[in-house]
Amino acid sequence: MSSLVRQRHSLMFRPRSYMAFAITPQPPIVDWLSELDASLQRSEGFFAGQHVALDLSAVNLSSSAIGQLVANLEERNIRVLGIEGVDPAKWQLGLPPVLRGGRGLRTSEPSLLIAPVPPTLAARPVPQEQQPASLMVEEPVRSGQSVIFIEGDVTVLGSVGSGAEIVAGGSIHVYGALRGRALAGATGNARARIFCLRVEAELLAINSYYRTADDIDDSLRCRPAQAWLEGDTLQISAMN
């Protein structure tokens, strides 16, 4: 009896949406692939475990060429979840399914920033429905550790050590000294900001625009500060 009930339960289909990166190859494909390789070299593991959708609207490929491209991406550890922007007639067995109705996510431009991300301490909880996209780190982030949270904001209750790294899709808040690197808006969000109680950062970056410690004004050092993007310059100002 109970098994019958369970069986019925498992037959219910619920729609559910997930977040994925869309990558859009540009013609000529060969050049695009070598550009991709150059970016990947700076950031092994950036796509590891990520859902990736292949947007083919900018190119016109035959179905065998699509298969070849998918295989090329797989060689680079990019696993394609689905294809969009393609004539369904070109789809054939063995290709990832065709996706429709994808919507952009508040970002106006595709992600360029590829951060060097050693996959230690990669905090990547599975986003659950109606959970706010933020990650709370309740202890100091030590030298050599990376906190990577592409889904949203990162808040650190403590300091971020020299040689540590925070990568967030949204903003970064550090309630302590920021001595390592902070990369906010890593998925192309130009509105992300970085806040900290004491800026001694090695590098601050928002949406691929960055400043190293050398370019941070000395008058700001060791003060509470925030960083934001104005056009294509990273602005930093004291908060007191």
Partner 1 sequence: MAQVLVVTSGKGGVGKTTSTAALGAALAHDGAKVVVIDFDVGLRNLDLVLGAERRVVFDLINVINGVAKLPQALIRDKRLETLHLLPASQTRDKDALTEDGVAKVIEELRTKFDWIICDSPAGIERGATLAMRYADAAIIVTNPEVSSVRDSDRIIGLLDSKTAKAERGERVDKHVLITRYHSSRAARGEMLSINDVLEILSTPLLGIIPESQEVLRASNVGSPVTLNNPQSAAARAYFDAARRLKGEQVPMLVFSENRSIFNKLFSRKAA
- Residue numbers at the binding site for partner 1 (CB under 8 A): 121, 139-145, 158-159, 161-164, 177, 179
Residue 39, phi then psi, degrees to nearest 5: -65, -40
Amino acid letter, residue 105:
L
Query: Which residue from 164, 167, 196 is spatially nearest to 183, judged by alpha carbons?
Result: 167
Q: Which is nearer to partner 1, 196 or 234 (CB)?
A: 196
DSSP 35-50: HHHHHHHT-TTSSTT-
Q: In residues, how long is the chain?
A: 240
How many angstroms separate the Cα of 56 from the Cα of each of 26, 61, 85, 87?
8, 8, 5, 10
Cα separation, 210 vs 207, whole angstroms? 8
Cα separation, 29 vs 7, whole angstroms? 47
Q: Please give the structure tokens belonging to residue 47.
A: 């796509």
Cα separation, 208 vs 211, whole angstroms? 10
Query: Which residue from 174, 219, 165, 170 is spatially nearest to 43, judged by alpha carbons?
Result: 165
